[in-house]
Amino acid sequence: MASQVTCTLFTLQFILFSYFFTISSGAFCEERAEVIAIKRVEKTTHLHFFFHDIVSGENPSAIRIAGPDKSSFGDTMMADDLLTEGPEISSKPVGKAQGLYALAAQNDISLLMVMNFAFTEGEYNGSSISILGRNQILNDVREMPIVGGSGLFRLAHGYALAHTVWFDEQENCTKMATFIPFILYSVVFSTFFSAINSKFSEQSPITMKDMEKKTSLHFYFHDIPGGKNQTSTVIARPINMTAASKSFGSTFMADDMLREGPEPTSKLVGRAQGIYGFASQQNAVLLMVMNFAFVDGIYNGSSLSILGRNAVFDNVREMPVVGGSGVFRLARGYALAKTFSFNLNTGVAVVEYNVSTNGKFSEQSPMIITTKRMEKMTRLRFYFHDIPSGKTPTKMRIAGPAKTTADSFGSTFMVDSPLTEEPEPTSKLVGRAQGMYAFASQHDAGLLMVLSFAFLEGTYNGSALSILGRSPVFDNVKEMPIVGGSGLFRFARGYSLSKTVSFSQKNQNAVVEYNVTVVHF
């Protein structure tokens, strides 16, 4: 008989006593909760380094992996860029920027950035931070959200300020200075480390008021996949698409209008810029990696970042807001989406969005709320089955450089993998891992992971967790950030520790054990 997955929930409160009680039990998860006294210890770390992006020559650090044939809109690059202490390429290396960036605007040069900064120097060697945001590269200074981290940056969130030092038009080389102040949340696993006086980093304690501000937004998302006023375009499809897979793996770049009302003539309030892709083989489920960039009123110039799972035939879909910029700096929240109209002939869709965000620095938000809420820490264990071939493959290659092997730099896969209670493929199904991963390193097997874990069993049925991180596949244990969640995991932050249980050299099938720790309300 398969052993049960054990989850332990700790309810966090600022109180002076503790006690135990039983909540519930089920096949997927047995839960207990402990009320304990705990204080959040936060530190601000400032990092200063230079990002070298080289797209041509003998040793490019970024290559094109996807995009339409007739337009630059949607062009997608996989990067393995050097991070250095100074602007010279010969300066001391401090890490690598690994991930993808893509042209996500039709009328200006705005990039979708889905990136992990993996550090290799000093105290931060082996730690990383994850960025999901919008990079308007012609602006003097651009702000992008930090939505998670690993190692010393576990549970981190904050922001990056980027400034272009110079750009070589002939060589297409860019050097970008990046200043990153961010807050490290040490909720239970408190990590203390001493200040370092160097060009690369410095640290200082931060005092945070126990107050947040809440903002509620209501607007309509207009997606036009064809015609004269097209706002989204296909950038990648499975290389070996079959009738059974249909649209699985098809990936689109969107620059969709956000309007005050459902009418196409309604007032423009922003743009939805980013990627959505079909991430399920059985249902119409989209992976959403999107920035909502606002252009109206007090939110003009601010943005929100979304990473989640959109089951388009559900009446109401919830997706996590994992970060923001401007007024929404350090934002966390959720978006509730509901299809208002869909034209079967043209594919034009209008979707109503109700977005709720909490942020510590949203000075213009209308409501102040306290954050003395009950927090829980949930632990989950399950097994991820990656099956690249056979009658029922769980992934498809959707993008990558031509004439290369499937495991080469830039190769990108759409995934719909089962999550089971035990490592055997016949074990009880507890969820699906849906999203994409890509080979994002030129020198080792380092993956960019952009996934939603959608649970189907017991208490967590209908809830999901969002992961954005870096997985060095040959490491014994890999840590990746949990940057958001939906359902019972709304406002979640945490981390996953994964370990390969088995790998078949013959058919490349892999089973990976995941131990996930999540803090949520």
56 and 196 belong to one structural domain: yes
d(CA 119, CA 139): 26
Instruction: Give the H/E segment covering residue 448.
Output: strand 446-455
Residue 380 domain-assigned (yes or no): yes
Q: Write down which residue in 184, 208, 232 finishes a domain.
A: 208
Beta-carbon count within 10 A of 36 CB: 15
Q: Which of 344, 370, 396 is the last residue of a domain?
A: 370
> Could you give the CA distance from residue 15 to residue 415 in angstroms, rounded to a whole number?
43
Whose structure tokens read 């089951």? 311
Statement to judge: residues 317 and 337 lie in one domain = yes
Q: What is the CA radius of gyration of the chain?
A: 22
Tally the domains of the chain.
3
Contacts of 33 (CB under 8 A, 6+ apart): 9, 10, 11, 20, 21, 23, 376
Structure tokens at 287: 């992976």
Domain with 156, as residue range(s), is: 43-208
The predicted pLDDT at position 168 comes to: 73
One domain for residues 341 and 446: no
Q: Which two tokens stand for residue 311?
A: 């089951």
Distance between CA atoms of residues 149 and 131, nearest Å: 9
Residue 145 lies in a domain: yes
- What's the pLDDT at 17? 23
Tell me the two tokens of residue 506: 């013959």
H helix or E strand, kind and range, residue 182: strand 173-186
Task: Check: CB of residue 103 under 8 Å from CB of residue 73.
Answer: yes
| Both tokens assigned to 134 | 């919008």
Enter the DSSP assignment of 491. Answer: T
Instruction: Write down the residue that tokens 């300020």 correspond to.
Output: 161
d(CA 492, CA 322): 9
Q: How, if at all, do strands 9-13 and 30-37 pair?
A: parallel
Residue 292 lies in a domain: yes
Q: Residue 301 domain-assigned?
A: yes
Q: One digit per residue, pLDDT tens: the chain, 521 residues? A: 333 333 332 222 222 222 222 222 333 553 433 333 334 556 788 888 989 998 888 888 888 999 887 778 999 999 999 999 888 889 999 999 999 999 998 888 889 999 999 999 989 999 999 999 998 888 888 888 889 999 988 888 888 888 888 877 665 666 566 655 543 322 222 222 322 334 455 555 444 444 567 889 999 999 999 888 899 999 998 866 554 456 889 999 999 999 999 999 999 999 999 999 999 988 889 999 999 999 999 999 999 999 999 999 999 999 999 999 998 988 889 999 999 999 999 999 999 999 998 764 333 444 444 444 567 889 999 999 999 888 888 988 888 887 666 667 898 999 999 999 999 999 999 999 999 999 999 888 889 999 999 999 999 999 999 999 999 988 999 999 999 999 999 889 999 999 999 988 888 899 999 999 998 87
Instruction: Let me know how long the chain is.
Output: 521
Contact of 462 with 485, CB cutoff 8 Å: no
What's the rounded Cα separation, in Å, for the pair 273 and 266? 19
Cα of 160 vs its chain's centroid, Å? 15
Sign of CA dihedral 246, 248, 251, 256: positive
**Domain match, 172 and 238 both:** no
Q: Are residues 391 and 257 in the same domain?
A: no
User: Rounded distance, CA 76 to CA 73, Å?
Assistant: 9
| Domain contains 15 | no
Structure token pair of residue 201: 């980093």
Question: CB atoms < 10 A from the CB of 11, how many?
Answer: 17
Answer yes or no: are the C-beta atoms of 246 and 226 closer than 8 Å.
no
Does one domain contain both 353 and 442? no
Residue 237 included in any domain? yes
Nearest to 254 by CA among 297, 301, 211, 293: 293
What pLDDT sits at residue 404? 64
Instruction: Clarify whether residues 123 and 168 are in a common domain.
Output: yes
Q: Are residues 102 and 116 in the same domain?
A: yes
Spell out the residues 6+ positions from residue 505 whose beta carbon is closer than 8 angstroms to its own: none
Regarding whether 201 and 229 lie in a shared domain, the answer is no
CA distance linking residue 368 with residue 354, whole number of Å: 19
159 in a structural domain: yes
Pair 217, 204 in one domain: no
Residue of 10, 328, 57, 251 lying closest to 171 (CA atoms) = 57
Tell me, yes or no, whether 480 and 441 share the same domain. yes
- Look up residue 279 and give its two tokens: 């991430």
DSSP line for 129-175: EEEEEEEETTSSSEEEEEEEEEGGGTTEEEEEEEEEEEEETTTTEEE
Q: Is residue 9 part of a domain?
A: no
In a shared domain, residues 278 and 195: no
Greatest Cα pair distance, the chain, in angstroms, is: 67
**Nearest-angstrom CA–CA distance, 217 and 68:** 33
Whichever domain contains 392, its CATH number is: 2.40.480.10
Residue 157's pLDDT is what? 80
DSSP per-residue codes, 63-89:
EEEE--SS-STT-EEEEEEEEESSSST
pLDDT for the residue 444: 83
Domain finish residue from 349, 370, 391: 370
